[in-house]
Structure 1
């Protein structure tokens, strides 16, 4: 049954991918139809590039190599081109349709339809290339966001605590050692007491991570109260049984429906990803996990996918941290994540619960971000028990 569902899902994705590409291809063919030999070159080049993402994905899952990585890289960039070429082409079709009824396009532009199509195609591609280029630069620029929160509970020792959170690192074919080192540098600069990694440490298949020995620099991080991680959906996509041993080998403490108590009394509840629901006995429900937690002491919950926030607030959790959404990663996909999640990105206070959903450190697919930036979040926490009213 599960294999059938996967086959239907995969087939649907491939069909949509082909239809979108075909829509762009046909309009490109119309634009370049008067340019002679370039028309033939366009046909070949378009479908070669359009196939690179799927071919690269297959190669990375079957035989990870540098050549396969570059094919996948080209395909990943093509995804961003595909999105914005599709939007631009759809917009032009809408203008063309409106022109039939309202004649909104100046007659001088329509006097030579061949030239109009050609220059429209060239202009659209140039603008999309600029958007993707600056989106890629933006994806490489990680900001450090500082948030101060007072939690009305007492801890042992110092009442202040600095917690650094990173999510969606996506180590793999596209995000490699250089970006990993950047994360390590940020952590060392911030000198947090505690580091929390909220899922999707790897991009999917573990093969490119093993091939490039990624993650080993994270072993250099020695925060005073430790470093803990939880699985995300991409750890399951690549195979949790293969990914988990590697993360543990580089000294990443992965919590799967587990609770640890820090020396100052803060309790960290690390939830397994939603992907575990139908595997290995499933994941525990939050109320079941909190049965073994002292709610009089601070409680942090790490949960990769930010669903059921009402349940979190009702439980009285002090700090709830998630990632997963990437805040849509590329506009206008953020409208989809905003429709799906109560909190697509940023800080939300529900009752007494402090909730934060990170836009993530890395990226999935295209190393491109439009309308948001990658981030690492530093929480400057102050613990102050409520005083009784006189």
Structure 2
């Protein structure tokens, strides 16, 4: 059955790639009398699998070919049916300009998408927690989905440190997917010294995301984080100066993670309870457990439009602030990216959460 599903997916993918490539061929042939048909389709065939080939082989520069093709392929499936319809309604005239229109569209996507990715912003939320505390206010910096890899390296991490310094948080929460798949890029970019600049008076606390599980580097990752004073909470709880609790859960993909009730049933319910959980799920159970603030990432807010409609349908809260009873849920679109380094319909961000405690 799995083999049948794989080949079905492969055939559909090939058919859609042929549709995109054929449109390009027709444009080149009719607009510029381009004649190298076999060479063109051979090149397009290789490009269509470039992203997957880079997962198996190290080919310098080829990863970027794969990234760019995935974006072009996805948006071509949205754009080309419309251009085809207009072309036939226009009695098969103007094909040259349709092609140039498509190129202009791609240039916009890559330019605007790069800007959204490489120009992170600070998004601010103000919330009130109805619990007594010796603190009047608390400033939290939420960072999720850094995805340290071959693309997200020293420049990106320095940018993150600068944003953190601008915010000046009391405490920092890292909501999972600090690394992409493997710890190797962390070593390759020598990021330990740079990441050690991510500090706050009350500490820096992290959880595992689904991507930390992929490379089987969790013990090494936790050790590296501990060495730079980032405490990774793996179904664990810490009390901060006896003022409030920080609960860190294993990722939802871990089948043996503790339930939220197991983690919180012995906590003092009169004290504020903050939860870091990579995936924004189980809001009802978490609210019933007495959690006041839950911070998450994972969704990337779809990263590339129109995927934001998919994440919005999949998650009760796929981005921003949503209150469920006394529980405040805040989901970040993330600081980094998975795959293509472009964002359309989302923006690279960190979140400043200003908490005020009221009776």
Q: Same fold (TM over 0.5)?
A: yes
Equivalences for residues 285-324 of structure 1 within 5 A = 285-324=259-298
Deviations 1:86-119 (A, max 9, x none): 21123334556xx5xxxxx234xx3x5xxx4444
Does residue 197 of structure 2 align to residue 220 of structure 1?
A: yes
Please name the residue that 2:351 is paired with: 377
Seen in structure 2, the aligned counterparts of structure 1 residues 133 and 42 have a Cα distance that, compared at 3 Å, is farther
Instruction: Write the distance in 1 (CA, Å) between the matches of 2:260 and 2:38.
Output: 59
Q: Is the 8 A contact 1:73 1:174 kept in 2?
A: no
Does residue 114 of structure 2 align to residue 126 of structure 1?
A: no
Aligned length: 356
Q: Is the 8 A contact 1:162 1:193 kept in 2?
A: yes
Compute the RMSD of aligned alpha carbons: 2.3
Deviation at 1:20, TM superposition (A): 3.0
Query: Is there any run of 5+ residues in structure 1 with no aligned partner, and where?
Result: 100-104
Please name the residue that 2:79 is paired with: 88
Deviation at 1:291, TM superposition (A): 1.4
Deviation at 1:191, TM superposition (A): 1.4
Please name the residue that 1:171 is paired with: 148
Secondary structure in 2 matching 1:313 = helix
Bigger mean CA deviation after superposition, 84-93 or 254-263: 84-93
Secondary structure in 1 matching 2:128 = strand
Please name the residue that 1:56 is paired with: 54
Bigger mean CA deviation after superposition, 18-27 or 197-206: 18-27
Bigger mean CA deviation after superposition, 20-29 or 375-384: 20-29
Deviations 1:58-77 (A, max 9, x none): 23xxx6xxx54x32233122
- Residue 199 of structure 1 is aligned with which of 154, 176, 190? 176
Instruction: Write the distance in 2 (CA, Å) between the matches of 1:373 and 1:55.
Output: 28
Instruction: Write the distance in 1 (CA, Å) between the matches of 2:276 and 2:4.
Output: 32
Deviation at 1:139, TM superposition (A): 1.1
TM-score after normalising by structure 1? 0.84
Please name the residue that 2:166 is paired with: 189
Secondary structure in 2 matching 1:260 = strand
Instruction: Write the distance in 2 (CA, Å) between the matches of 1:212 and 1:148.
Output: 36
Deviation at 1:264, TM superposition (A): 4.6
Instruction: Write the distance in 2 (CA, Å) between the matches of 1:86 and 1:217.
Output: 41
Deviations 1:191-218 (A, max 9, x none): 1110000011111122222222234312
Instruction: Write the distance in 1 (CA, Å) between the matches of 2:219 and 2:176.
Output: 15
Q: Is the 8 A contact 1:81 1:132 kept in 2?
A: no
Deviation at 1:56, TM superposition (A): 1.7
Q: Is the 8 A contact 2:239 2:246 kept in 1?
A: yes
Please name the residue that 2:23 is paired with: 27
Please name the residue that 1:365 is paired with: 339
Deviations 1:283-311 (A, max 9, x none): 11111111132211000011111112122
Seen in structure 2, the aligned counterparts of structure 1 residues 370 and 290 have a Cα distance that, compared at 3 Å, is same
Deviations 1:158-191 (A, max 9, x none): 3221110010111111111100110011111211
Q: Is the 8 A contact 1:32 1:38 kept in 2?
A: no
Instruction: Write the distance in 1 (CA, Å) between the matches of 2:173 and 2:115.
Output: 26
Deviation at 1:135, TM superposition (A): 0.9
Seen in structure 2, the aligned counterparts of structure 1 residues 120 and 188 have a Cα distance that, compared at 3 Å, is same
Equivalences for residues 260-339 of structure 1 within 5 A = 260-277=238-255, 282-339=256-313
Q: Is the 8 A contact 1:81 1:129 kept in 2?
A: no
Q: Is the 8 A contact 1:199 1:229 kept in 2?
A: yes
